[in-house]
Structure 1
């Protein structure tokens, strides 16, 4: 009898335990399902940005037409419906052909590309700078009288208004003739020389810098409006001088570019939003401090994570992913009378061919209501795109988080940081060696090459630190010469890989130029050290 009671208690206890387990896990599953449904409902409920744009910068690294078409098709597949084309001197100007450079497209090629984008449902907006960032125009003697400064051809003088209006009326009309968009982007950013020349100084002293900027920009916007187009402009200077908006056409679109800083970095944007102005937002996938030897992957992922949800919440009508091939600042070679011989972009970066992972992240961030989770995205992308494991995806994320700093050899702090940075990047290289993608191998090779360029840069900086040291002597020169020779051999291997990966994406001559620029400093130092040691043997 006692045995039966014990069995009965055991059965009751087991039954109770099973019930508790079912209730416990049922609760977890129910909560998970509810959360999943909640997220799905939230994602389904939010409205996508009407304008989902990508900015293509052709100031350097001019893409071939087949590459542009392939890129546009992939953007369309990602849900992008707008391109902002910063053609700069790659545009085939008609009346002002002097401006067009050696990589300029033909007019039929531009028509063909715009028509192709039309077939994809992509609106192509031309970007024609009209104030600052016009070095590519003012470098020419034909336009040099419009310079705000003889020594800095980046900006037109806003008080030479009739000549300015004549020029930009022609350029806007030319752009409008080959583009169907209702918009023309007129630039208007980073006008650093406001009030520089003598007549502008007088205007600023009398009416203020804001009036100088507003009067000019108003006149330029009105040219666009008279053409039946809507002016679009970068909003940094407008935010600095917010009263400017009172003089601009009501339909003007303001693009708030934010690459990871505080929302009111340029000025109080909330006050302008209260006026009901049309704002688009603009994060970036290539910007400072990126150069040939570093990409701050984490910064760009975090920029998307933070800024896109803000832009949505703030009621922006559009979002534009910018991607800068260079800083927009140049070095110049001059002859007498400030006649420009040539200009060279400061800060080159890896071409757009290597950044599909960030573009895919942008597309994902636009599709979901929740902020992008960078690590989770990279891990999943590694699995879906490269057929890697989840563990491999985590390795790829660690690689992308490796120290992105550049090295400043002019300070002791820079020297101290060099070894720490090298250690971080060498660990990333070890992890990269473990990754064996089974799909889209060429895309992955861009990522591998970018890391190898980073390692090469840091190895060079170690040798350069000896060359730039106050302890540098002829004996030190003899010691670093073999290292420099080894680096030259390595640079050729990297050049060949870069050439192969970007064949068909960039023009052959531009690939050669990019390889030359990337290795120029190494070759200069090698030549000096070699000549020095040979003469003193």
Structure 2
């Protein structure tokens, strides 16, 4: 296999120059100029290369003495060359000498990452080559939702930063709604929370910066404020303090989730948050989100909306929040969904605002919004997703299409950045393992779209070789396949799998399920999603075969990681959740259930399986994540367990009456 196939993301330019030769058992780094020497020392270049060498060759760091006959030296020559992209580099290996050129310290860092990966994946013998490399997008990011239930422990976050760094990702956000950060003024409102502390955020910021990753503070400031507005002390700050009726007739109200932008206390709440959060970060940016303010201009702010329009009402409030960010010397990032609905707001955006253009579905493209933003002159990033939320193990084909489209359109229409999002909808049941396909494929697409969009096998193999270190080389492909069970559901549900929806929805009759699902589809249409009548062409027998195959494959992987058992157990748990959904579908649609006795036997089986699944869910959650939020995440599973118990009780009562 060519050495090129051992690199991911694939570099922009790569040429084999003929021949191959072995590296030595130590490195000697020299620089042509003082600036390059400072860069090399600053990124610990020689130590990093030696450590990578040690991992594969067993040599001791720094053993370069000519008296030791077992030590041979590979010379590394560095040069600072103007004209190379700041994040770019060139690298040449002709045997005996590795030449690296860069124009900035970060470019040298990326060159070292490339060399480290070659050592880890190709060993000590390299084909001779020349690389010319630079990224398509200056900002290549990942956003992890920590605002809905799942707040990772510090070791988990440090490990995530290491994974992102190896993929040349340079931007990280931890999305916040609710209380995932310990705002001191409001700790009493959230007594059961286990938030990230100020000290921990400072540690994360420094750790990320040491790996050339910009950790950007993130706090929603208008919509998605449901956890705050549920508190009696803050309820009157809501646009709809008593909740709001859905835009279509449904037998319930939506809880308050949006701040009233005309109430000065709303801005005071946000100011208190930002004043405590933003100083902890070295980043020049802050994300205020401002997305999905449901009911804006229809409740407490209705009079102002009727006076100036909903779009200008939104911008009137946004300007004030942006001003708070500016007082901290930072530039603003914010989502573009409301701006897209109200294009008259585009000229009102301050010059230091970057719009985050999001889309997570493969049935629509980034092209129209990207073109409009480019024509308006507004800086923007494209933001696709991992497609793992509300899906357990993902929707792989949707993810691939969504990320590829974002990369193509972003590159074509001048996007300044590319952020892969990983949300926590429907309990945040997906593990980070399930999100690796989206993270890795997105990293490749954002580094160099033309080279990496078609490199699905390269992304699969990177996961196997580098992230999970599977000696069988199969787990990367397996993770991509685990996100394809939804194709056997053939469901028209938007932005989720039917299995995830069913597990969250619970035990029901077929008629009631389809009635409620059709109502939800109508609600989707009202908020701009695909909507339409609920369609389902479920392949039950094929799903059983799919589950059997995935279980067999999981038994075969051999991970060389300290937490190898945990990784496999997490994936088995994910399969068990899907299997529970398959059984629940069988129960609802009465597949192969000729009588009550057969149905009762199935419910007994599902109940026992679910009890085991919940136990494993809770055990594995606590290995990587904080306890706060776990009860909310498992709430739907416990509800389903209770429904099974009620069903069995009804069977028992019916039997006694006979």
Q: CA deviation at 1:505?
A: 0.6
Q: Which residue of 1 aligns with 2:261?
A: 158
CA RMSD, 1 decimal: 3.3
For the structure 1 residues 452 and 504, does the alpha-carbon distance in structure 2 shift closer, same or farther, using more than 3 Å as the test?
Answer: closer
2:642 alignment partner in structure 1 = 524
Residues 367 and 96 of structure 1: CA distance in aligned 2, closer, same or farther (over 3 Å): same
Change (3 A) 1:319 1:193: same
Q: List gaps (5 residues or longer) in structure 1.
A: 1-35, 327-345
Kept in 2, the 8 Å contact 1:184–1:224? The answer is yes
2:122 aligned partner: none
Q: How does 1:206-217 map to 2 (within 5 A)?
A: 206-217=307-318
Structure exhibiting the larger radius of gyration computed from Cα positions: 1
Would the alpha carbon gap of residues 524 and 381 (structure 1) be closer, same or farther in structure 2, given more than 3 Å must change?
same
Partner of 1:482: 601
1:179 to 265, 271, 281: 281
Structure 2 residue 160 is the aligned partner of structure 1 residue 79: no
- TM-score, normalised relative to structure 1: 0.78
Deviates more, 1:457-466 or 1:397-406: 397-406
Q: Which residue of structure 2 aligns with residue 323 of structure 1?
A: 422
> Is 1:135 equivalent to 2:226 in the alignment?
yes
Gaps of 5+ in 2: 1-9, 16-129, 244-254, 490-497, 503-509, 516-532
Query: Cα–Cα, structure 1 residues 167 and 415, in superposed 2: closer, same or farther, change >3 Å?
Result: closer
TM-score (norm 2): 0.64
Per mean C-alpha deviation after superposition, the further-off stretch among 260-269 and 316-325 is: 260-269
* More displaced stretch, 392-401 vs 424-433: 392-401
CA contact (8 A) 1:353 1:502 kept: no
Q: CA deviation at 1:324?
A: 0.3
Corresponding residue number in structure 1 for 2:544: 426
* Residues 218 and 511 of structure 1, relative CA distance in 2, 3 Å threshold: closer
1:366 partnered with 2:446 = yes
Note the alpha carbon deviations across 1:210-262, whole angstroms, 9 max, x for none: 22112111222122223321111001111111221322211101111121346
| Residue 376 of structure 1: aligned partner | 457
Corresponding residue of 1:246: 347
Deviation track 1:243-290 (CA, whole Å, cap 9, x = no partner) reads 2132221110111112134666797442331232211111111456x3
| Aligned match for 1:53, one of 132, 141, 157 | 141
Between the aligned partners of 2:444 and 2:385, the Cα distance in structure 1 is 15
How many residues are paired up?
A: 469
**186, 210, 215: which one aligns with 1:119:** 210
Give 1:112 deviation, angstroms: 2.3
The structure richer in helix per residue is 1
> Could you say which residue in structure 1 is the equivalent of 2:272?
170
User: Could you say which residue in structure 2 is the equivalent of 1:401?
Assistant: 484
Q: Report the CA distance shift for 1:123/1:183 in structure 2 as closer, same or farther (over 3 A).
A: same
- Residue 55 of structure 1: how far off its partner (Å): 0.8
Match of 2:50 in 1: none
Q: Residue 202 of structure 1 aligns with which residue?
A: 303
Deviations 1:400-431 (A, max 9, x none): 4333441674339979733x1x2332222233
Provide closer, same or farther for how the CA distance between residues 177 and 227 of structure 1 changes in structure 2, counting only shifts above 3 A: closer
Structure 1 residue 437: Cα displacement: 1.5
**Offset of 1:172 from its aligned partner?**
1.1
**In the alignment, does 2:14 pair up with 1:40?**
yes
Q: Secondary structure at the match of 2:486?
A: coil
On the 8 A contact 2:141/2:420 being kept in 1, the answer is yes
Q: Is the 8 A contact 2:386 2:394 kept in 1?
A: no
Counterpart CA distance in 1 for 2:537 and 2:363 is 27
Residue of structure 2 equivalent to 1:226? 327
* 1:63 and 2:144 matched: no
Does 2:262 correspond to 1:189? Answer: no
Counterparts in 2 of 1:512 and 1:207: CA distance versus 1, 3 Å: closer
**Equivalent pair of 2:366/2:405 in contact (CA under 8 Å):** no
Q: Which moved more, 1:516-525 or 1:405-414?
A: 405-414
For residues 423 and 462 of structure 1, do their structure 2 counterparts lie closer, same or farther at Cα, with a shift above 3 Å needed? same
**1:217–1:373: structure 2 CA closer, same or farther, 3 Å change rule?**
same
Q: 1:528 to 1:478 in 2, by over 3 A?
A: farther
Cα pair 1:283 1:304 within 8 Å, conserved: yes
* Distance in 2 (alpha carbons) for counterparts of 1:144 and 1:234: 25
- Counterpart CA distance in 2 for 1:403 and 1:154 is 30
CA contact (8 A) 1:484 1:526 kept: yes
